Amino acid sequence: MDGVSRAVGSGVTVVIGGKTYILSPFTYRDRGMIEQEILKRRVTPLKIAQDHIEGLDPLLQEKLLGKALDDTTKLPNYTTDADTDEFIASDFGIVFAVWLSLRKQHPQVTIEELQDAFDEMDADDVVQLSQCLAQASGDDDLGNETGRTESPAKTTPPSEPPGASSSESSAKPITSPQTTSAT
């Protein structure tokens, strides 16, 4: 193949909770929604002060809130790639990212449904789904922007010497990286 599936955003087929879905590539809007979710969840000095202000003297409350507001306004109102990676690696972040990717072709899917399905998955299923999500958006090792542009070399199973062919092989079938079954 020549990588055209990535260029046209054909998506990646996955199975989640026994149902088949297509993960679509992230759009700029999706990336913006991830950034907004990270910013919304970010703990700021103002949020901390608001949680601890009750019961303080009114003058002290005013002083504390003023300092917290000043400190909060100095924080950046954007996220970094590291922030995004950390968010998507979190329990809620991966569910949110998968939901964003699915909603284009499966608008009926809710975050709550996905959270329930994720709660039933083991760690390997979540890792495999994360890899499919990265592949759908071209952010994996084979993606045009981040890594190798060629597949790793194919290997011959150890039970078969190079150049040999048999009609029956004891090797496990190779599964496509474009399909995962996450139960």
- HSE, side-chain direction, 13 A CA sphere, residue 31: 13
Residue-number span of the structural domain to which 92 is assigned? 4-41+77-146
Do 98 and 129 meet the contact criterion of CB atoms below 8 Å apart?
Answer: yes
Q: Domains in the chain: how many in total? A: 1
Residue 171 lies in a domain: no
Residue 176 lies in a domain: no
Residue 29 lies in a domain: yes
Residue 127 lies in a domain: yes
Residue 128 lies in a domain: yes
pTM > 0.75: yes or no: no
Residue 20 lies in a domain: yes
Residue 69 lies in a domain: no
Q: Six-digit token pair at 151?
A: 């597949």
Residue 106, judged by CB atoms within 10 A of its CB (0-12, 13-18, 19+), counts as: middle
Query: Per-residue pLDDT for the chain (183 aa), expressed as one digit of tens each?
Result: 455 555 566 789 999 989 999 999 999 999 999 999 999 999 999 999 999 999 999 999 999 999 999 999 999 888 999 999 999 999 999 999 999 999 999 999 999 999 999 999 999 999 999 999 988 887 776 655 544 444 444 444 444 444 444 444 333 332 334 444 454
Do 94 and 130 meet the contact criterion of CB atoms below 8 Å apart?
Answer: yes
Residue 12 lies in a domain: yes
